[in-house]
Structure 1
């Protein structure tokens, strides 16, 4: 009998303006203290900034950025024989996109000096071009997973 509770998938609502489930999930991750309208406004402003700077659709750049940043593998700590090993595990489905979204948001929040919409737009543009802090986090994770490939049989 498992010791943990069963985790049920959350039913995300699509975004009100774009009708996209991915944007709706991103709004949920970006939102702080339940202020959904502020998070939606930040994303709308961000998409306008992206459109002005790249002459591409904000939604297209956003989806490309999420796809680029989403990791293929992640590391999980396993305690075996009194030692902790970082075991590389393949990331599946929704968790890939969720990790990518979290990394983009955390990279955006670490930047200082500009409005959130502007910082998010710059990070999404960078991620769509395979540069930036979120892509660095993905590459570091993949590099660590590659270095710990010897422990993959512990998974």
Structure 2
């Protein structure tokens, strides 16, 4: 590679939970630089999660982290061209990319949900992910299924 690797930017922890993961999630949630609006949506979603799962002994933040872990993929398939044929080669995912994919999937499937405010949609997607269901969890399962189906091409890994 000609250029040096770009430096990783330091992400400041969020004001309420003092957690970097929350800040990263809010950054993915943000539209047009409106970070404050994203924080409002995220905290409202966590409040809604707490009210929906009041019989759970975990806090809303722990429920969110568990939901994020449940939708985090371990492997993905990458297209690799070998001798005129294109193979779907299963590869393991870097830890930072795993986290990013999980957050993006959770947000994308929350946005696709019908009706209500974004906070409500996000809350219901978090609850679904916590219970191993919902769109984001299904996406993870599909990624794993694709990787499993193409395991024969794993020796093409690069």
Please state which band the TM-score falls in when normalised by the shorter chain: over 0.9
- Point out where structure 1 has 5 or more consecutive residues left out of the alignment: none
Verify the 8 A CA contact 1:75 1:145 in the aligned structure 2. yes
Find the aligned partners of 2:134 and 2:107 in 1 and give their Cα distance.
12
SS of equivalent residue, structure 1 residue 102: helix
- Following TM superposition, by how much is the alpha carbon of 1:10 offset from its aligned partner in structure 2, in angstroms? 3.0
Verify the 8 A CA contact 1:14 1:20 in the aligned structure 2. yes
Q: Decide which moves more: 46-55 or 9-18.
A: 9-18
Using a 3 Å threshold, how does the CA distance of structure 1 residues 75 and 15 change in structure 2: closer, same or farther?
same
Whether 2:78 is the aligned partner of 1:82: answer: no
Find the aligned partners of 1:5 and 1:136 in 2 and give their Cα distance.
37
SS of equivalent residue, structure 1 residue 18: coil
> What corresponds to 1:152 in structure 2?
154
> What corresponds to 1:60 in structure 2?
62
Q: Give the TM-score taking structure 1 as reference length.
A: 0.94
- The count of residues paired between Structure 1 and Structure 2 equals 154
SS of equivalent residue, structure 1 residue 32: coil
Find the aligned partners of 1:50 and 1:98 in 2 and give their Cα distance.
22
Find the aligned partners of 1:8 and 1:74 in 2 and give their Cα distance.
25
Q: Which runs of 4+ in 1 moved over 4 A?
A: none
- Following TM superposition, by how much is the alpha carbon of 1:4 offset from its aligned partner in structure 2, in angstroms? 7.0
> What corresponds to 2:142 in structure 1?
140
Find the aligned partners of 1:68 and 1:92 in 2 and give their Cα distance.
17
Using a 3 Å threshold, how does the CA distance of structure 1 residues 29 and 145 change in structure 2: closer, same or farther?
same
- Following TM superposition, by how much is the alpha carbon of 1:114 offset from its aligned partner in structure 2, in angstroms? 1.1
- Point out where structure 2 has 5 or more consecutive residues left out of the alignment: none
Q: Give the TM-score taking structure 2 as reference length.
A: 0.92
SS of equivalent residue, structure 2 residue 111: helix
> What corresponds to 1:40 in structure 2?
39
Show CA shifts across 1:52-104 (max 9, x none): 11014210111001111101101111111122111110113121111110110
